[in-house]
Amino acid sequence: MKIGLLFIFLLLQACESREPLSPVTEMPSGWKQQNSGVSTALGGAFFLDAETGWISGNKGVILHTTNGGSQWTPQQTGTDKLLVSIFFTDPKHGWATGDSQTVVQTTDAGADWVLRDIAVAQADGVTPISKRKKDLTGLFFVDAQRGFIIGTKGFFIATRDGGQHWEAVNLSFNETLTSIFFVSARQGWVTGDGGAIFYTENGGTHWVRQITTTVKDLHRVFFVNDKTGWAVGANGTILATKNSGQSWKPQSSVVPTFLPGLFFIDENIGWVAGAAGTILSTVDGGVRWTQQPSGTIEFLINIYFANKEVGWAAGTKGTILYTQHGGAPPPLATKKPPSVKNDR
């Protein structure tokens, strides 16, 4: 399936998604609802630690917390566009990107967000991003200076001076690019429609396409070191590699649903999230995936962990879920057998 704008597709389809396993809402859950204060879809997430983070979404929403999500405070972004992705290079400096070439930047932790119509250098000259007619689906900064933005129709740009100047990256790929992740200053991966994964080992100067043996759209990629990583996507697709992507092997997700959320703490402990409140976890690198009752049937678009215990999932209708126990449900209460009094 070819998607003009991945994120909007997810939002529009969320209410019609079928629940993969049931009844999750009737089972004890290790995830608790937090009050986002909004009813719009949320999907971008970035946390500095277990207390401080941001979540972005539709209608220009960016929410900020400094207490783990006990309170979420809306920040003024100056736009009503969908903000798909958000990333901070330090506690003060951050970027968010989204629909209709929207780019916003902050230098004060989001107290002020400024719209940027960045200029993109390419072979035929310099063009403002507002003229490119592309929707932006992801971004990643390797450090304060080097960053990347991706989008629909193969849109891919890079900066090496903190966003003052941007230049086009040519992948010879005209479909939607969906996520980008770097594990170091040199090694990075980009996913896209049709099972596409691209790899760089020189900081993004040159990219090569890796063989994935799938044609399913991939929506997020995540690595824990220079060798070990995963990618997730449509129809319950989970791929894993232990050799930097030289070979990608499918893992069984046990669900047929859309999986756009992915996060790992180390080579063993990780989670994926998706349609109809789906959250899966693994403690063996994905050899086995187990469903965690989430307590919701909303479409979960992203999942993010500060450590192996504390994490959040964000989705449609302002949904923010929170766990302090790695998402594991509480142990079932066991009743003590009645005492028996023996008559003598």
Burial of 166 per CB tally in 10 Å (0-12, 13-18, 19+): buried
| Structure token pair of residue 43 | 């999907």
pLDDT confidence tier of residue 64, bands split at 50, 70 and 90: very high
CATH number of the domain within which 248 lies? 2.130.10.10
First to last CA, the chain: 77
Predicted local confidence at residue 12, as pLDDT: 44
Residue 218 lies in a domain: yes
Residue 341 lies in a domain: no
Residue 231 lies in a domain: yes
d(CA 238, CA 206): 26
The per-residue pLDDT for range 94-135, each reduced to its tens digit, is 999 999 999 999 999 999 999 998 888 876 667 777 777 789
The total number of structural domains in the chain stands at 1
The per-residue pLDDT for range 298-333, each reduced to its tens digit, is 999 999 999 999 999 999 999 999 999 999 988 764
The whole-chain average pLDDT of the chain stands at: 90
Per DSSP, what are the bridge partners of residue 33? 321
Residue 334 lies in a domain: no
E-assigned strands of 164-260? 166-168, 177-182, 188-192, 196-200, 208-210, 218-223, 229-233, 238-241, 249-251
pLDDT confidence tier of residue 8, bands split at 50, 70 and 90: very low
Instruction: Count each helix (H run) and each strand (E run) in the chain, helices first.
Output: 1, 30
Predicted local confidence at residue 279, as pLDDT: 98
Residue 339 lies in a domain: no
Residue 4 lies in a domain: no
Residue 233 lies in a domain: yes
Mean pLDDT of 218-233: 98
Residue 315 belongs to domain spanning: 26-323
3-state secondary structure of 131: helix
d(CA 96, CA 63): 12
